[in-house]
Amino acid sequence: MGDMRTIGKMLILGGALLVQGCVAPKPGPDLLAPTEAQTKLRSFQTRTFDVADRKVAMRGVIAALQDLGFIIERANEPLGLVTAARFAEPDNLSVVEVTVTVRPQADGHMMVRANAIFNHTPIDDPKVYQNFFATLDRSLFINKEE
């Protein structure tokens, strides 16, 4: 009898779980609204450089990404877009992807924005973006020197 009661309880629990699974959570009305965290993340991901030519800035971005071991997947000069990825060595099943956009500003500076993703999850660690911009700074500086 005790066994039957336990099985009954388990069935009810299973049923409840099933019913819960059927109701998909609806996206809230503020799904696309900017949050404070997003604004903060955007400031980490954006930096302005003292470069006037977009092509020079793009080549700097590509060189910096290559130095960091990234594979350049796509580049679009008219839009100032570079997409790159690298394997999370020695773990050869994970991937880090990054999209960098380069946009000229009205004051003759260049705005660079980077979005990085680790296995489909956005990276929100400011240190990651600081490291990237430090490498980019070096790459653009070397190019200027030459």
Partner 1 sequence: MASSPVQLDSGHDGQACCWCCSGYGGRMSLLLRRWLRAAVCMTVLASIGGCATMQPAEFFELSAESPAHKAMQTRLFETGNEKELLSASAAVLQDLGFQVDEVVREVGMLRAVKERSAREYGQEIGRFFVMVLTIGYVRNSVDLQQRISAVLITRPVDKAGMRSEVRVMFYRVVWKGDGYVERTTILPGEQRMEMIYDPEIYRQFFFKLSKAVFLEAFTL
Is 17 or 23 the residue whose CB approaches partner 1 more closely? 17
Pairing of strands 81-87, 46-49: unpaired
Shortest distance, CB of residue 59 to partner 1, whole angstroms? 6
Do the Cβ atoms of 58 and 66 come closer than 8 Å? no
Q: What is the largest CA-CA distance in the chain?
A: 86
| Cα separation values, 36 from 40, 110, 129, Å | 6, 25, 18
Per CB under 8 A, which of residues 94..133 are in contact with partner 1? 94-96, 116, 118, 123, 125, 127-129, 131-132
CA dist 36 and 85 (Å) reads: 28
- Number of residues lying near partner 1 (CB under 8 A): 43
User: Which residue's CB is nearer to partner 1, number 24 or number 73?
Assistant: 73
Q: Contact residues for partner 1 (CB under 8 A)?
A: 2-3, 6, 55, 58-59, 62-63, 66-69, 71-78, 86-96, 116, 118, 123, 125, 127-129, 131-132, 135, 143, 146
